[in-house]
Amino acid sequence: MRELLLALAVIAGPVCAQDTGLETVAEGLAVSAPDMLMRAAMANCIAYDLDEAITRIEAAGWDSDTDDGGLTTLWRDEIYAQINAEGGLCIVSSPIVDMTSAGIVAGDLMTTLYGGTPVTEVDDAGCALISSDAELDDYVYLSSDGDDPTCENTGQGGSALHYFYFE
């Protein structure tokens, strides 16, 4: 039971970080479980503007590098966040977190943010768009990781969660 309560605190912490402070976000960004690191990084992208998300992730001790095009890559263990604040894009990926687990992370984040239950729709390319039935227009896009991601969930390999800011 203690582990379940701790997991729920980590899930809710980053999304509610504006109410609970930087300490909660930093705790989530420093956990050792890969799926929880993925959860915390994506929660920062959803809960804050992307410049602030980068700052918070760096403050938690993640390594980072920014290229000339404005893409900041942050990493800790085997979790990678690629954030382009000007382009409105956040991708959190891992070669070791499978697509099923990443889909659960996305559903948890969307329902923590909006309430309701997770909803998975499939776009024309066969990719999963994961949202909450309380807010279908805000979603996390799920794919495999790597340079040539696919939407096919083979049950092996890694995953990537994509979050887009549309203005």
| Geometric angle at alpha carbon 102, from 117 and 60, rounded to 5° | 105
- What string of DSSP letters covers 149-160? --S---SSS-EE
The predicted pLDDT at position 134 comes to 94
Over 60: is that where the pLDDT of 47 sits?
yes
What does the block give as tokens for 60? 């938690």
Whether the CB-CB separation of 40 and 31 falls below 8 Å is answered with yes
Percent of the chain at pLDDT above 70? 83
Taking the CA atoms of the chain, what radius of gyration do you get in angstroms?
Answer: 15
* Per-residue model confidence (pLDDT) at position 166: 64
> What predicted TM-score, i.e. pTM, was given to this entire model?
0.82
At residue 158 the predicted structure's pLDDT band, cuts being 50, 70 and 90, is very high
Measure CA 74 to chain center.
13
CA distance 165 to 139: 10
pLDDT digits (tens, 9 = 90+) for 112-122: 888 899 999 99
**Per-residue pLDDT reduced to its tens digit, 72-90:** 999 999 999 999 999 999 9
- The token pair at 23 is 């300490």
